[in-house]
C-alpha cells in the first residue's frame, strides 16, 4: 500500500469522526432542550460539550497534517445526517438511550481503530477515549424508568436495537463509497475477516451496554 493512500484513509477516518462529533453535539444539544428537569438538561449539555472537545482535537490533528477539517468532513455529512434523521428520538427516554448508546458506539469505534493508526494519530484517539464518563446520568435515569415500567423497557429495547441497525447500515454506505477507508482497515490486519470481527465486536459491546441500561 502506498503512503498517500494510507494518508487519504486517515484523513477520511478523522473526517468522519469529526463530523460524527459535531453532529452528536448538535443532536445532544437539541435533545437537552426536551429534558423534563434541569438536571437532565445539564447532563446532556455536558455530553454535547464533550463531543466538541473531541472535535477540536480532531480538527487540530488534521490541521497538523495540513488538512482543512471542513474539507475532510464534507463527504460524511450526508450519511451521518441520515443516521440522525432515521433515529430522531420521540421522547426524553429515547434521547437518553440514544445519548448513551451513541456515546458507547463511538467509544468502541475509537478503541477499535486505535490499533490501526500511526503513533501520533493513535495518541489522539487515546486522548479522546480518556475523556469519557459523562453518561452516568443517562444510565441511572433509563435504569429507573425500565424498572418502573415494563412497557417502556420493551419499547426502549427495540429502540436500542434500531440505533445499532441504522448505524451499521450507514457505516456500510460509508465504506462502499470510500475505498481509502476500506484499504485502511484491510491494511491493518487480516482484511475482510478483521472487518467482520469488528462489526461482531461492536454488536457484543452494544449488547452489554443495553444490559447496563436495564434493557434486554
In the complex, the residues that contact its own copies under the rule CB under 8 A are 22, 25-26, 29-30, 32-33, 38-39, 41-42, 45-46, 48-49, 51-53, 55-56, 59, 69-70, 73-74, 77
Q: Which is nearer to its own copies, 34 or 157 (CB)?
A: 34
The minimum distance between CB 188 and its own copies, in angstroms, equals: 29
The minimum distance between CB 45 and its own copies, in angstroms, equals: 5
The minimum distance between CB 25 and its own copies, in angstroms, equals: 5
CA atoms 74, 78, 79, 82: torsion sign: positive
**Distance set, CA 43 to CA 28, 139, 152 (Å):** 10, 11, 21
For residue 81, the tally of other CB atoms under 10 A from its CB is 14
Cβ-count burial 91-128 (b if 16+ within 10 Å, e if not): ebbbbbbbbbbbbbbbbbbbebbbebbeeebeebbeeb
The minimum distance between CB 107 and its own copies, in angstroms, equals: 19
The minimum distance between CB 61 and its own copies, in angstroms, equals: 15
Q: Which is nearer to its own copies, 29 or 152 (CB)?
A: 29
Closest by CA to 209, choosing from 151, 149, 167, 172, is 167
Q: Which is nearer to its own copies, 59 or 141 (CB)?
A: 59
Q: Which is nearer to its own copies, 32 or 135 (CB)?
A: 32
Q: Are the beta carbons of 104 and 209 closer than 8 angstroms?
A: yes
Closest by CA to 128, choosing from 10, 18, 6, 32, is 18
Q: Which is nearer to its own copies, 71 or 147 (CB)?
A: 71
Amino acid at each position: 500500500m502506498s503512503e498517500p493512500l494510507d494518508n487519504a484513509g486517515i484523513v477520511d477516518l478523522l473526517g468522519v469522526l469529526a463530523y460524527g462529533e459535531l453532529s452528536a453535539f448538535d443532536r445532544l444539544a437539541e435533545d437537552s432542550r426536551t429534558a423534563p428537569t434541569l438536571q437532565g438538561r445539564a447532563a446532556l449539555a455536558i455530553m454535547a460539550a464533550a463531543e466538541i472537545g473531541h472535535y477540536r482535537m480532531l480538527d487540530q490533528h488534521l490541521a497538523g497534517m495540513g488538512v482543512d477539517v471542513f474539507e475532510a468532513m464534507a463527504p460524511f455529512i450526508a450519511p451521518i445526517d441520515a443516521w440522525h434523521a432515521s433515529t430522531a428520538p420521540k421522547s426524553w427516554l429515547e434521547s437518553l438511550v440514544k445519548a448513551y448508546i451513541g456515546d458507547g458506539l463511538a467509544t468502541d469505534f475509537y478503541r477499535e481503530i486505535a490499533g490501526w493508526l500511526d503513533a501520533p494519530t493513535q495518541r489522539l484517539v487515546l486522548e479522546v477515549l480518556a475523556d469519557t464518563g459523562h453518561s452516568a446520568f443517562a444510565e441511572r435515569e433509563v435504569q429507573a424508568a425500565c424498572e418502573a415500567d415494563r412497557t417502556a423497557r420493551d419499547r426502549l429495547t427495540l429502540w436500542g436495537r434500531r440505533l445499532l441497525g441504522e448505524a451499521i447500515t450507514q457505516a456500510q454506505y460509508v465504506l462502499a463509497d470510500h475505498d481509502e477507508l476500506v484499504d485502511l482497515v484491510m491494511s491493518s490486519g487480516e482484511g475482510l475477516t478483521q472487518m467482520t470481527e469488528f462489526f461482531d465486536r461492536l454488536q457484543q459491546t452494544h449488547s452489554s451496554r443495553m444490559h447496563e441500561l436495564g434493557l434486554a
